[in-house]
Amino acid sequence: MLTIQTPETILFWVLAPLSVLAALGMLLVKKAVHSALLLAFVMITLAIFYIAQDALFLGIVQIVVYTGAVMMLFLFILMLVGVDASDSLTETIRGLRPIAITAAIGFGGLMISLIARAKLGHGAFGLAEANKDGNVQGLAKLLFSDYVFPFEVISALLITAALGAMVLAHHQRTSAKPTQREQSIARFRQGTLGTAAGLPSPGVFARHNAVDVPALLPDGTPAPNSISATLKARGDILETSQFELGEVDKTVKEEK
Amino acid sequence: MNPYNYLYVAGLLFTIGAIGVVVRRNAIVVFMCIELMLNAANLTLVTFARINGTLEGQVTAFFTMVVAACEVVVGLAIIVTIYRSRRSASIDDASLLKR
């Protein structure tokens, strides 16, 4: 029969509320990057739970595969996609949030009350017997005897997923890439010559050249199109008036 | 304490993940909530392996992890493809079938 020692009890009661809080925070924070970090925290606490429950191999795999590979992939895609309006927490379907929370309380309450009422007919056995040759050895014995067919199928699945991701992410050009000369001609043939020389770089004529400082036009007004669209979507543009030049000679007229 | 307490944590995490899938709009956050639900299911498997005294649950949790890794790879590739054509990672914008 399994008896749970005091250290594991303490570990559980410290980490379980923290992991549930981190999961709740994942729903409530605005930025997707913060959600990813909180999810990584939840996954690490789960890895500790696995190790505490005599699943040493799974605990290590959880850290290596989930917090190592999967979360890095998430952060990578977040950087690739960038920040846009989908980060906002405003609800688009009216009344969705109360309905979702009510349904979730109902579902969670049902599940927890079911767990509380369920009876297995026996106590917890513990893994001391199954792990007596070591956890990895026990898992390997099962994996390469009873579960060898699922194991091979899973390997086929991994290869298929890798191929599928390559097919999905592959981008076939439908037209030839415009050369520098064609781009230049296109810039001059468009309606206005305002951007013929390219958009202004951030910080030009402003007092310093950080990427979030708009360039100043010759008349001293800031040029909003000098800031990257990602920074604009994130709202990371500094107040421009503090960078404005004090004295601008406004009598100079544009020469035709 | 008995090991059933881990099942309560798994239930709570699963519920939170389910709310996230419904409530959040960013496709990547929705995907992370699905990962949270998978992890909660894994915790249940590991706990039941311990309660029953066999390693079968752990083998199943291992398979779940591999399937989750495949799912992340394909899912994120789909998100990148949608983002490339629609310039948005919001799940509300991908509503072409509705019109």
**Using an 8 Å Cβ cutoff, are A237 and A206 in contact?**
no
Split into its structural domains, chain B has a count of: 1
- Residue segments in chain A with a per-residue pLDDT below the cut of 50: none
Per-residue pLDDT of A153-175, as tens digits, reads 999 999 999 999 999 888 778 88
Whether residue B97 lies inside any domain: the answer is no
Q: Distance between CA atoms of A197 and A209, rounded to whole angstroms?
A: 19
The per-residue pLDDT for B99 is 66
Decide: residue A4, CB within 10 A, 0-12 exposed, 13-18 middle, 19+ buried: middle
User: B57 lies in a domain?
Assistant: yes
Q: What are A122's two structure tokens?
A: 């026996």
Quick check: is B95 in a domain? no
ipTM entry? 0.93
- CA nearest neighbour of A156 among B24, B66, B30: B66
| Cβ atoms B66, B40 nearer than 8 A | no
Question: Which pLDDT score is estimated for A146?
Answer: 92
From A185's Cα to the closest Cα of chain B, the distance in A is 26
Contact A20 B9 (CB under 8 A): yes
- What residues in A contact B51, CB-CB < 8 Å? 2, 120, 124-125
Give the domain range for residue B60.
4-89
pLDDT 10s digits, A179-197: 999 888 888 888 777 777 7
Q: What local confidence, expressed as pLDDT, does residue A212 receive?
A: 77
For residues B33-68, b (16+ Cβ closer than 10 Å) or e, as one string?
bbbbbbbbbbbbbbbbbbbbbbbebbbbbbbbbbeb
pLDDT (0 to 100) of residue A225 = 76
**Does A143 contact B36 at a Cβ distance shorter than 8 Å?**
no
Decide if pLDDT at B35 tops 80.
yes
Question: Tokens 């206005």 map to which residue?
Answer: A192
B-chain CB neighbours of A81 within 8 Å are: 28, 79-80, 83, 89
Mind listing the domains of chain A with CATH numbers?
6-88+100-155 (1.20.120.1200), 198-246 (no CATH)
CATH number of the CATH domain containing B80: 1.10.287.3510
Instruction: Please name the amino acid found at residue A76.
Output: F
Q: Average per-residue pLDDT in chain A?
A: 83
Residue A133 in contact with partner chain B when CB distance is under 8 A: no
First to last CA, chain A: 94
Q: Which of B46, B71, B91 sits opposite A53 (nearest CB)?
A: B46
**H/E segment holding residue A223:** strand A222-223
- Between residues 31 and 90 of chain B, which touch chain A (CB distance below 8 Å)? 31-33, 35-36, 39, 42-43, 46-47, 49-56, 58-59, 61-63, 65-74, 76-81, 83-84, 87-90
Under 8 Å between Cβ of A74 and A37: no
